Amino acid sequence: MFKMIDVLDQNLVQNFTHSLNSPTELDELFNQSLLNVSEVELQNVIAQFFSQHDAMAKAKALELSDEAILRLKTGENLTQGTTLTHTSKIVALCLAEEIDAFSQVEISEISADYLV
């Protein structure tokens, strides 16, 4: 199985849970880290994500449009323009699931209804 912790910068992985409370800092850190990952590795991450039985529901929960999903599935230009933002969302979700970050973050009862 493909592991996010093997692909991403160790600093990002180590600080991921702490950065969840600072989304702007997290976005910057993620975007920079993704630019250092090979295109092939990112394509593997995206392919693995979409191979999950609930991938489309998760993609919709991440507010990815049908067009964005199609672009991601082609695996081209994953670090360019708005596709970088979409790639970042998927990578962040995969990492959060892998390290069980959701159990380490307090979520208000109001927000809990919106989680996948």
What is the count of structural domains for the chain? Answer: 1
* The pLDDT of residue 109: 47
**39-71: per-residue pLDDT in tens?**
999 999 999 999 999 999 999 999 999 999 999
pLDDT at 17 over 80: no
- Averaged pLDDT score across all residues of the chain: 78
Q: Which domain covers residue 36, as residue numbers?
A: 4-103
Percent of the chain with pLDDT over 70: 63
**75-86: per-residue pLDDT in tens?**
999 999 999 999
* The pLDDT of residue 110: 45
For residue 13, give both structure tokens: 């992985």
Considering only residues 20 and 99, tell me which one the structure prediction assigns the higher pLDDT.
Answer: 99
Give a yes or no: residue 111 inside a domain.
no
Give a yes or no: residue 86 inside a domain.
yes
Q: Is 91 exposed, middle or buried (0-12, 13-18, 19+ CB in 10 A)?
A: buried
Q: What would the DSSP string read from start to end of 43-100?
A: HHHHHHHHTSTTHHHHHHHTT--HHHHHHHHHT-STTSHHHHHHHHHHHHHHHHHHTT
Give a yes or no: residue 77 inside a domain.
yes
pLDDT at 24 over 90: no
Q: How big is the CA angle at 73 (ends 60 and 55), to the nearest 5 degrees?
A: 35
Say which DSSP state 113 is in. Answer: T
Percent of the chain with pLDDT over 90: 38
Considering only residues 14 and 96, tell me which one the structure prediction assigns the higher pLDDT.
Answer: 96
